């Protein structure tokens, strides 16, 4: 059975302007690979309601899972929850279960659960909450879309909450070999090997370290014995 396929949507003008460097994509990618979910596409988009709604609609129809990052805080530029609700044509308002979580948290910390903070309890009908042990305000899953916060510590915690509920596939295995020759010398023999190992994905990633140049050859697949066989041949060819 093929692995489940996934897409991610990174939402935020601060990423596209270069002010903030996104960290969530790289983190999620590694987590999904470990559990055998293939991340096929990432879109980074701006805080624009029409674009968020359209992107969620398009990707949720094409992938088994869609993960979003960003735009679920208390301020006026946090519009992701409403856009996701619109994408699924669902009603959204402050929901009792989310409000109860926030009320308990703010009572304990002695802060006011004001109108702005209540925005974080806006959850679409039919969605399931995603636990947020860091700052309490929950994410949510609606159909195949998992809506999470952009702050990396919160995103990471929400990913840890949601991934155990997702069925993975065969974990992607990989092995790599560092070859200290120009990629142009490696490419010919490597292309021949790639034909013999069509069941593996073979990538060549050139490097230059202090005047030493070469490439890391990475083989990825789900069958360890095939990866081992390729690595043995690679070592022989490039010994």
Least distance (Å) between residue 100 CB and its own copies: 16
209 sits near its own copies (criterion: CB under 8 A): no
18: left (phi over 0), alpha (psi -120 to 50) or beta: left
Task: Report the residue number, 167 or 201, with the smaller CB distance to its own copies.
Answer: 201
231 sits near its own copies (criterion: CB under 8 A): no
Torsion angle defined by CA atoms of residues 56, 60, 61 and 62, in that order, rounded to the nearest 10 degrees:
110
Give one DSSP letter per residue of 25-38, joined into a string: HHHHHHHHHHHT-E
Please state, in angstroms and rounded to a whole number, the distance separating the CA atoms of residues 9 and 122: 20
**Coil, helix or strand at residue 229:** helix
Least distance (Å) between residue 211 CB and its own copies: 12
Please state, in angstroms and rounded to a whole number, the distance separating the CA atoms of residues 52 and 209: 41
222 sits near its own copies (criterion: CB under 8 A): no
Please state, in angstroms and rounded to a whole number, the distance separating the CA atoms of residues 114 and 37: 39
22 sits near its own copies (criterion: CB under 8 A): yes
Contacting range for its own copies; rule: CB under 8 A; set: 24-32, 138-146, 163-171, 230-238: 24-32
Specify whether the CB–CB gap between 188 and 152 falls below 8 A.
no
Task: Report the residue number, 59 or 145, with the smaller CB distance to its own copies.
Answer: 59
Residues 121-180 that bind its own copies (CB under 8 A): 151, 153, 172, 174
211 sits near its own copies (criterion: CB under 8 A): no
206 sits near its own copies (criterion: CB under 8 A): yes
Give one DSSP letter per residue of 101-136, joined into a string: HHHHHHHHHT----HHHHGGGEEETT-EEE--TTT-
Would you say the C-alpha torsion 164, 166, 171, 174 has a positive or negative sign?
A: negative
Binders of its own copies: how many residues, by CB under 8 A? 68
Please state, in angstroms and rounded to a whole number, the distance separating the CA atoms of residues 96 and 94: 7
Among 49, 100, 116, 237, binds its own copies (CB under 8 A): 116
Least distance (Å) between residue 47 CB and its own copies: 8
Phi/psi at 205 (nearest 5 deg)?
Answer: -120, 100
Among 37, 45, 83, 123, binds its own copies (CB under 8 A): 45
105 sits near its own copies (criterion: CB under 8 A): no
Paired with 122 in beta bridges are 94
Contacting range for its own copies; rule: CB under 8 A; set: 30-38, 83-91, 162-170, 228-236: 30-38
Task: Report the residue number, 116 or 237, with the smaller CB distance to its own copies.
Answer: 116
Residues that bind its own copies in the complex, under the rule CB under 8 A:
12-22, 25-33, 39-47, 51, 73-77, 111-112, 114-117, 119-120, 151, 153, 172, 174, 182-188, 190-191, 194, 201-208, 215, 218, 220
């Amino acid at each position: 059975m093929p692995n489940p396929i996934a897409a991610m949507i990174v939402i935020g003008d601060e990423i596209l302007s270069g002010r903030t460097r996104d960290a969530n994509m790289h983190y999620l990618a590694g987590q999904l690979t470990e559990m055998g979910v293939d991340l096929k596409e990432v879109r980074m988009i701006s805080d624009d309601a029409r674009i968020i709604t359209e992107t969620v609609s398009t990707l949720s129809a094409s992938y088994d899972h869609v993960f979003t990052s960003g735009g679920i805080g208390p301020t006026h530029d946090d519009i992701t929850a409403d856009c996701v609700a619109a994408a699924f044509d669902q009603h959204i308002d402050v929901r009792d279960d989310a409000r109860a979580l926030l009320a308990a948290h703010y009572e304990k910390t002695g802060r006011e659960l004001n109108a702005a903070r209540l925005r974080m309890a806006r959850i679409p009908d039919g969605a399931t909450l995603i636990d947020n042990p860091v700052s309490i305000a929950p994410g949510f899953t609606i159909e195949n879309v998992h809506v999470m916060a952009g702050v990396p510590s919160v995103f990471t915690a929400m990913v840890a909450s949601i991934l155990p509920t997702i069925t993975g596939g065969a974990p992607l295995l990989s092995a790599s070999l560092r070859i200290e020759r120009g990629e142009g010398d490696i490419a010919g023999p490597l292309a021949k090997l790639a034909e013999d190992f069509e069941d593996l994905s073979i990538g060549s990633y050139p490097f230059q370290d202090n005047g030493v140049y070469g490439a890391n050859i990475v083989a990825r697949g789900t069958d360890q014995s095939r990866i081992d066989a390729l690595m043995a041949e690679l070592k022989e060819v490039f010994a």
